[in-house]
Structure 1
Amino acid sequence: MVSIKSSSEISKMKIAGKILGQALKMLEEMIKPGINCLDLDKAFLEFITSKGCTSNFFGYYDYPAHICVSINEQLIHGIPQNRTIQDGDIVSIDTGCVYEGYHADAAITKICGMPKNEKDIKLVNDTKKSLELAIEQVRDGVRIGTISATVQKFIEQNGFQLPTDFAGHGIGTAMHEDPLIPNTGVADTGMRLKAGMTICIEPMVQVSTSKTITAKDNWTVISADNSMAAHFEHTILVTEEGCEILTLFKD
């Protein structure tokens, strides 16, 4: 069921989003050669706890950590391990938090240190740009297919691939709510967005295949050909005239 948020609910989601944006900015700055993935997870938990939030990833279907750290060919859901991030690694961090029962969810991708090649830079930049273009489409009355088609057109024109087994989603009192927000679709089709809806748009992009496999940990999703991957996500409030990004970094 799709929910339209009240002003008091939106206020709580804005607080959750602001805190999450600050936490992701902190993690982005921590991604340097030599950082351990476990230290990223620990720093995140300490930060959101200090701000009055709890983790919505930990324990979700028994997920064992507070953030997802997906490196290089890992697309999403990478469990933080006792692993040191190396120069040139493509690091995607996906995470969320809960404030007084209301959720926020967001993801970033950063190349650690010196990029290995121009293709990696383009992958990260184009994935981020596809999210920005999709967000520009969001407003009261727009159909979900238009958002999906915007991501698909830009990514495919730039020569990259979109796995179709994963998608964005609604968000509110649960981390995953209706409606589904796919990354592929046909413009002017699907449900119309309404002011007061809160959604997550999250392009997940791979270099040379749309196929994925799941690792033995039953969580980590990897590109089927081990090509590089990137992931960006924001929690967004639909408004009458457009939208508001709730998980942008704000001081």
Structure 2
Amino acid sequence: MGLFDRGIQIKTPDQIAKMRVAGLLVGETLELLRASVRAGISTGELDAIAEDNIRSGGGLPSFQGYGQPPFPASICASVNDEVVHGIPGDRVLADGDVISIDCGAIVDGWHGDAAITVAVGEVPADARALMEVTEGAMWAGFAAARLGGRVSDISHAVEQHVRSRGSYGILEDYTGHGIGTEMHQPPNVPNYGKPGRGAKLELGLALAVEPMVTLGSKHTLVAEDDWTIVTSDESWSAHFEHTFTLTERGPWVLTALDGGESALAELGVPFGGR
């Protein structure tokens, strides 16, 4: 078990290595789902693909049975104006949709958590730009992380990236989070704010960074299923997430198949992986 400092779980190197195993399973599952997304497939079919891959890889789906009411699926599948926590089912994807797929897995008691937003065929130009801005904001957050820094350094970098690229809504009620032996742990990682605040970034801390950005308002509603979060103005949204940690060398993205090395190199950031 990792040690807890003020409620924050600090992992040993061996425990981070176990999180990397869970993270790779999540990353591999999301790449399989990315390749499976097409017009005519249902979100329930995507969920079945994810569950099979997670269990075949020696993991357990993190999301199944989580929360109240218990979440009934292995992934969150959120389409168009659904931001996060969409429940997979009979909905069939159509050309021009965008779908956020959030996936979590537990291996040997340790969690990995990541999300992607995928275009279904040809999508509107503003939706494509929204996806690029949201994913870029996530990587800007990783690039801003330094040992000895603060969690809000990540938050500030995410917000600045989004704000510099247009008039978008950044969700404030839903945030990234610490992660380890539970899927959601302190500290929260907001997607906005001033730098230099919050918990210290230190060795053994693992965080899930997940910008949620819309083409319109930052305000949301909870759907009748008590899970799906939708934009209040029906504007489309995008959501990207990775779990990462910091080593002495730099960020190591535990749910990226290459550890984040290629994306960090494009930003001129040293890769902290092994």
Q: Give the TM-score taking structure 2 as reference length.
A: 0.89
The corresponding residue for 1:217 is 225
The corresponding residue for 1:142 is 149
The corresponding residue for 1:49 is 55
1:108 lines up with 2:116 in the alignment = yes
The corresponding residue for 1:152 is 159
Q: Secondary structure at the match of 2:255?
A: coil
1:132 lines up with 2:139 in the alignment = yes
CA distance in 2, matches of 1:236, 1:105: 10
Shift of 1:190: 2.1
Deviations, residues 54-101 of structure 1 (Å, cap 9, x unaligned): 011000011011100000000000000111100010100001000000
Shift of 1:141: 0.9
Shift of 1:241: 2.9
CA distance in 1, matches of 2:73, 2:199: 34
Shift of 1:239: 1.5
Contact 1:208 1:227 (C-alpha < 8 Å) held by counterparts: yes
Amino acid corresponding to residue 142 of structure 1 in structure 2: G
CA distance in 2, matches of 1:3, 1:225: 38
CA distance in 2, matches of 1:249, 1:30: 18
1:16 lines up with 2:22 in the alignment = yes
Unaligned runs of 5+ in 2: 1-6, 260-274
Instruction: Pick 1 or 2: higher relative contact order, CA cutoff 8 A, min separation 6.
Output: 1
The corresponding residue for 2:3 is none
Unaligned runs of 5+ in 1: none
Distance 1:109 1:31, change over 3 A: same
CA distance in 2, matches of 1:191, 1:153: 20
Amino acid corresponding to residue 81 of structure 1 in structure 2: G
The match for 2:91 among 57, 67, 83 is: 83
Contact 1:57 1:67 (C-alpha < 8 Å) held by counterparts: yes
1:29 lines up with 2:30 in the alignment = no
The corresponding residue for 2:4 is none
CA distance in 2, matches of 1:7, 1:192: 18
Shift of 1:156: 2.1
Amino acid corresponding to residue 136 of structure 2 in structure 1: K
1:239 lines up with 2:247 in the alignment = yes
CA distance in 2, matches of 1:92, 1:81: 14
CA distance in 2, matches of 1:152, 1:164: 11
The corresponding residue for 2:212 is 204
The match for 1:93 among 84, 87, 101 is: 101
Deviations, residues 194-233 of structure 1 (Å, cap 9, x unaligned): 0111110000011110100010000000000000000000
Q: Secondary structure at the match of 1:3?
A: strand
Q: Which runs of 4+ in 1 moved over 4 A?
A: none
CA distance in 2, matches of 1:219, 1:238: 32
Contact 1:131 1:232 (C-alpha < 8 Å) held by counterparts: yes
1:174 lines up with 2:173 in the alignment = no
Distance 1:241 1:250, change over 3 A: closer
CA distance in 2, matches of 1:220, 1:71: 10
Contact 1:139 1:239 (C-alpha < 8 Å) held by counterparts: no
Q: Secondary structure at the match of 1:208?
A: coil
Deviations, residues 141-168 of structure 1 (Å, cap 9, x unaligned): 1111111111111212221111110000
Q: Give the TM-score taking structure 1 as reference length.
A: 0.97
CA distance in 2, matches of 1:249, 1:39: 24
- Identity across the alignment (%): 37
The match for 1:7 among 13, 26, 29 is: 13
Deviations, residues 108-148 of structure 1 (Å, cap 9, x unaligned): 00111111x21011100000000011111122111111111
Shift of 1:250: 5.1
The corresponding residue for 1:118 is 125
